[in-house]
Amino acid sequence: MKALPVTLLTTTLLLAAASQGSAHFGMVIPSEPTITPEKRNVQLSLSFSHPFEEVGMDLARPAKFSMFKDGEESDLLPGLQQIRVMDHLAWKADFQVQRPGVYHFVMEPVPYWEPMEDLSIIHYTKAIVPAFGSEDGWDQPLGLPTEIVPLLRPFGNYAGNSFSGQVLLAGKPVSGAEVEVEFYNENQQFTAVSDYHVTQVVKADADGIFSFTCPQPGWWGFAALNSADYNLKNPDGDEKPVELGAVLWIYMDPWQKQ
């Protein structure tokens, strides 16, 4: 086998290391952060990626995709269609809003085996979309195995606002939870100052509450990672740990000049 030139080999190893160090994020991205009577249709893009670097991974057909409203769950899984996001397998759903309310869209993926971390990953991923001026129910937990419950209304915010949320695992606050934060850097409009700047990290307090100021307009993802109290088999049939991720995506609007 022909050896790689030193410069090419070094570049390859650096890229591999950067990819390994990046955070995985389940993504549920609505085409519109709010719904108006003039535009009732919303398309939801479901993917799995490193959002700041726009490095995608294949997302198998999710185990569940649901919409929660007023305490009721609707199954959206049958309507999913294959698409490509970041040049990898992803999914989309078209949803037409018929009445006012706050709509919680939640994806539960099939477990993703990550050999570099020697574990399976399951990210319960949520996006919250208000319709026709309603705002009741945005702060209600959905009873997911793990989730981030917003303490700042997760819509109608400007870039520069500080988002606050509470991390729950099995319905209970996670003391000292570590929350990873990434900006969905569409079209690579920004470059990170260093590898540390790709994924921001914030610690929750004893009640699982954290805050983070979002400096740029666009979609921001928050992922609180915890270990499951069970194992799953890897492709070789060995029992391995499971990482449970509570992921929430929110949109920050730019200030508009007259």
| pLDDT tens for each residue of 78-123 | 999 999 999 999 999 999 998 999 999 999 999 999 999 999 999 9
Q: Quick check: is 142 in a domain?
A: yes
Q: What is the dihedral of CA 76, 29, 19, 180, to 10 degrees?
A: -100
- Shortest CA distance to 182 belongs to which of 219, 139, 230? 219
In a domain, 62, yes or no: yes
Mean pLDDT of the chain: 91
Here the tokens at position 107 are 């994806």
The pLDDT assigned to 257 comes to: 87
Q: How much is the pLDDT for 23? A: 79
Q: Higher confidence at residue 178 or residue 7?
A: 178
| 76 belongs to a structural domain | yes
Domain membership of residue 20 (yes or no) is no
Counted domains in the chain: 1
Residue 181 bridge partners (DSSP): 200, 222
The three-state secondary structure class of 14 is: helix
Q: What is the pLDDT of residue 9?
A: 36
Would you say residue 52 lies in a domain?
Answer: yes
pLDDT of residue 22: 58
Give the span between the Cα atoms of 121 and 176, in whole angstroms. 21
Domain residues for 39? 25-253
pLDDT on residue 39: 85
CB atoms within 10 A of CB 139: 16
Selection from 197, 248, 243 nearest residue 223 by Cα: 248
Least confident of 10-14, 72-76, 88-92, 159-163: 10-14
In a domain, 233, yes or no: yes
- The pTM score is 0.90
Cα 88 to Cα 29, 49, 62, 214, distances in angstroms: 16, 9, 15, 27
Amino acid of residue 114 = E
Burial 62-100 (b: 16+ CB within 10 A, else e): beebbbbbeeeeeebeeebeeeebbeebbbbbebebeee
User: In this model, does residue 12 exceed pLDDT 90?
Assistant: no
Beta bridge partners, 87, equal none
- For the chain, the distance separating the N- and C-terminal CA atoms, rounded to the nearest angstrom, is 64
Position 58 in a domain: yes
As a whole number, mean pLDDT of residues 19-24 equals 59
Per-residue pLDDT at 38:
86
Contact between 73 and 59 (Cβ < 8 Å): no
Over residues 154-201, the pLDDT tens digits come to 999 999 999 999 999 999 999 999 999 999 999 999 999 999 999 999
12 in a domain, yes or no? no
| Average pLDDT of the residues in 58-71 | 96
